[in-house]
């Protein structure tokens, strides 16, 4: 059954005339008569009592009309919704963001994208980089922002920032006068670290191990501002990305540079290679990559 046949039938029923229905649809009267005849043959019923003056619905025609109107209405709704999706007018995107990344880089991106596409819902899930990676892998997240490295064989990605981690201490700390701090000098310090689901925690523990010690951990958190407050309260030392340290008050926190090799904070946006990306998600990736000045062809990913 062709939806066009139902559309033509509805028009004839509305106008009670094949001629007037043909005029409304901008087709010839023989064409609309043929379409209705095909529908009658397919359903094996007579839909109209045809007279010289008008076309009156039969009882069968009245029953078909009710169902035909619902079918055509549903198809019209489907067509409109698909058009909205294809044109990025509607959609839902679930994005995983570590807390530090969300605060530092994405408020304006998310706000500007929302202004451009107000009917696209951006749902943000704030968790550590490891949980973001797992979420993109299992499909619960469409897109994720992670600290590298990740499983390259599973994900498409583009990197958008690389900067060093800095050591932060309270202003009266004995190390504050040093231009460069060697990691071995931190052996006896108390550490305020990110939780286990943060990749940067692994990088810090690796550096401690390379220098022959395991840190004395006094506090763990997922929030960089809480970590900074713990340091200001003289409970220990901590490590934060260079971008974040620029927001800390110099009167309460001293930012120090670590000796080489640096602990990198290398961020990327990832999505699964084998998962279908919605039109909204693809547009978000294009928009965000352009915002960060990253040029790549999404069609090849």
Interior angle at CA 282, CA 280 and CA 287, nearest 5: 90
Q: Give the total residue count for the chain.
A: 301
6-15, 31-40, 100-109, 152-161: least confident range: 100-109
Residue 115: CB atoms within 10 Å: 8
Residue 194 pLDDT grade (very low, low, confident, very high; cuts 50, 70, 90): very high
Residue 120: CB atoms within 10 Å: 22
pTM across the whole model: 0.75
Is residue 187 predicted with pLDDT exceeding 90?
yes
Q: What pLDDT was estimated at residue 90?
A: 85
Is residue 279 predicted with pLDDT exceeding 70?
yes
Q: Which CATH architecture has domain 3-86?
A: Orthogonal Bundle (1.10)
What is the pLDDT averaged over residues 59-84?
88
The per-residue DSSP string of 194-244 comes to E-TT-HHHHHHHHHHHHTT---EEEEEES-HHHHHHHHHTTS-BEEEEHHH
With beta carbons less than 8 A apart as the criterion, state whether 158 and 238 touch.
no
- Name the percent of the chain lying above pLDDT 70: 98
Closest to 32 (Cα-Cα) out of 51, 15, 53 = 15
With beta carbons less than 8 A apart as the criterion, state whether 256 and 167 touch.
yes
Is residue 296 predicted with pLDDT exceeding 80?
no
Q: Which CATH architecture has domain 91-160+266-300?
A: 3-Layer(aba) Sandwich (3.40)
Is residue 40 predicted with pLDDT exceeding 80?
yes
Domain definitions of the chain by residue range: 3-86, 91-160+266-300, 162-265
Q: What pLDDT was estimated at residue 77?
A: 83
Fold of domain 162-265: D-Maltodextrin-Binding Protein; domain 2 (3.40.190)
What is the pLDDT averaged over residues 144-167?
92
Residue 86 pLDDT grade (very low, low, confident, very high; cuts 50, 70, 90): confident
What is the pLDDT averaged over residues 20-29?
92
What is the pLDDT averaged over residues 294-300?
70
What are the tens digits of pLDDT across the range 98-129?
A: 988 866 788 899 999 999 999 999 999 999 99
Cα-flanking dihedrals φ and ψ of residue 240, to 5°?
A: -135, 155
Q: What pLDDT was estimated at residue 53?
A: 80
- Name the percent of the chain lying above pLDDT 90: 77
With beta carbons less than 8 A apart as the criterion, state whether 40 and 12 touch.
no
The answer for residues whose C-beta is within 8 angstroms of residue 193's C-beta and 6 or more apart is 201, 204, 215, 217, 219, 220, 227, 238
Q: How far is CA 45 from CA 7, 21, 37, 49, in A?
A: 17, 21, 10, 11
Is residue 64 predicted with pLDDT exceeding 80?
yes
Q: What pLDDT was estimated at residue 224?
A: 93
Q: Do domains 3-86 and 91-160+266-300 have the same CATH topology?
A: no
Q: What pLDDT was estimated at residue 151?
A: 81
Q: What pLDDT was estimated at residue 299?
A: 61
What is the pLDDT averaged over residues 58-70?
93
Q: What pLDDT was estimated at residue 7?
A: 92
Q: How confident is the prediction for the chain on average, in pLDDT?
A: 92
What are the tens digits of pLDDT across the range 162-181?
A: 999 999 999 999 999 998 99
Is residue 11 predicted with pLDDT exceeding 80?
yes
Q: What pLDDT was estimated at residue 301?
A: 54
């Amino acid at each position: 059954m062709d939806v066009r046949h139902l559309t033509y039938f509805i028009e004839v029923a509305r106008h009670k005339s094949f001629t007037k229905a043909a005029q409304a649809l901008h087709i010839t009267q023989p064409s609309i008569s043929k379409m209705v005849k095909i529908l009658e043959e397919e359903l094996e019923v007579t839909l109209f009592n045809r007279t010289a003056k008008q076309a009156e619905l039969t009882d069968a025609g009245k029953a078909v009309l009710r169902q035909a109107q619902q079918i055509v209405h549903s198809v019209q709704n489907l067509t409109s919704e698909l058009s909205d999706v294809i044109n990025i007018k509607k959609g839902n995107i679930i994005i995983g963001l570590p807390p530090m990344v969300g605060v530092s880089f994405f408020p304006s991106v998310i706000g500007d994208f929302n202004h451009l596409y107000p009917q696209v819902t951006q749902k943000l899930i704030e968790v550590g980089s490891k949980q973001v990676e797992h979420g993109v892998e299992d499909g619960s997240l469409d897109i994720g922002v992670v600290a590298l490295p990740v499983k390259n064989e599973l994900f498409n990605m583009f990197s958008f920032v690389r900067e060093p981690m800095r050591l932060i201490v309270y202003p009266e700390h004995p190390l504050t006068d040093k231009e460069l701090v060697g990691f071995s000098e931190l052996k006896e310090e108390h550490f305020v670290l990110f939780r286990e689901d943060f990749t940067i925690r692994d990088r810090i523990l690796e550096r401690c191990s390379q220098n022959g010690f395991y840190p004395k951990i006094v506090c763990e958190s997922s929030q960089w501002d809480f970590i900074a407050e713990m340091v200001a309260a003289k409970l220990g030392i901590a490590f934060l990305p260079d971008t974040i340290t620029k927001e800390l008050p110099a009167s309460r926190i001293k930012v120090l540079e670590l000796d080489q090799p640096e602990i990198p904070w290398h961020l990327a946006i990832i999505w699964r290679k084998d998962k279908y990306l919605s039109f909204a998600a693809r547009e978000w990736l294009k928009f965000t990559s352009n915002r960060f000045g990253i040029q790549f062809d999404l069609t090849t990913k």
